Amino acid sequence: MPSRPRIVPRNVPRNVPRNVLSAVLTALACLLVPCATLAGWVAYGLADTGRYTAAMAPLADDPRVREAVADAVGDGLAREAGTGPLRGAMGPYLQDAARSFTRTDAFRAGWDTANRTVHAAVLRALRAERPQHRPVTVDLARVTVRVKEELVRDHVPFAHRIPVRHTEITVLPAARTDRLRKGYHMLDIAARWLPCAAVAFALAGIATATRRRRAITATGLGTALGGALLLLAVAAGRRLTLTALPGPPGRPAAGAVYDALTTTLRTASWLLVALGLTVALASCLTGLLPRHRAPVPAGTPDPAVAAEPRPSSSTPLPP
């Protein structure tokens, strides 16, 4: 009895493993994009003393920061004045003097020098090969010398008599320094490899997909979604940081500092959103363009007709 031809149903999906593998690779790439952006911001933005100082420099003219510094300096001068009626009488004058000082070039110079000194000390501790098991301290003598030079240049009376004392303050305790050191080393390694891994996964996902245009669209949308999630994370981090402060007086200045430090991260996040949406939109538009088929020469059989299955000679024809 002659065997009947095997009929394969047309609705059975083909290349399912390739599509699944492509989806997994694309999802991994989209997940790594915001992580790579965050790690790069920490390693090449916050960990660079020049960029950090440049980001913090405009805060010397911010009213919220100047008010916070003036309050801290005024309270410190009032404590140095001692107790008794003289302290109460001098309090308002000391506050006014501190506010006037925050509007001078000497304050701006001292602000930059203090930020550079503190950042260099913290970065030196974080980049150490072995844990130091000691706090990070900063000597304020360098800041005092810089402020004194500016005051002498501005011909402030008795500025040359300002004593320069070596006063060390603790920036980070020992336990916190060791934890931050481990986290910094992990982010430093991640900043080198995560971008390469994200690009490799994205290219592999597109190359593996049976419908590459759809894979490109999915990659673009996933990149935009990652940038949007990173923006939400920055906003949530700001809220949590300000909420963790002990009191509301310092929150405006802390918010200004947070915004200044995360400017580059927010810009990179918006770039991810714009780039991802642009790639996805371009991929969709190219799919909508009509395809022009080349004219078939005369006498050449139509490929669609030639591809149709013909009955085999061994198959019995119906009566």
pTM of the model: 0.74
Q: What is the mean pLDDT of each run of 10 residues along the chain (319 residues)?
A: 53 72 93 94 89 89 85 68 54 72 83 87 83 73 72 71 70 79 88 93 92 92 95 93 77 88 94 95 82 58 52 52
Q: Residue 279 contacts by C-beta under 8 Å, 6 or more apart in sequence?
A: 216, 217, 219, 220, 223
Cβ–Cβ under 8 Å, residues 181 and 125 = yes
Q: Tens digit of pLDDT for each residue in 62-113?
A: 888 888 888 777 776 666 555 555 555 556 666 777 788 788 888 888 888 8
- 81 alpha carbon, distance to own chain's centre: 45
Q: Look up residue 119 and give its two tokens.
A: 């950042």
CA distance 219 to 44: 26
User: Which residue in 184, 199, 51 sits closest to 125, CA to CA?
Assistant: 184
Residue 226: its pLDDT value, please? Answer: 94
- Residue 190: count other Cβ atoms within 10 Å of its Cβ: 19
- Say if CB 178 and CB 125 are below 8 A apart: no
Is 122 within 8 Å of 178 (Cβ atoms)? no
Q: Which residues of 275-291 are buried (b: 16+ CB within 10 A; e: fewer)?
A: ebbebbeebeeeeeeee
Rounded to 5 degrees, φ, ψ at 169 are -120, 150
CA gap 28, 43 in Å, rounded:
22
- In whole angstroms, what is the distance from residue 259 CA to residue 229 CA? 17
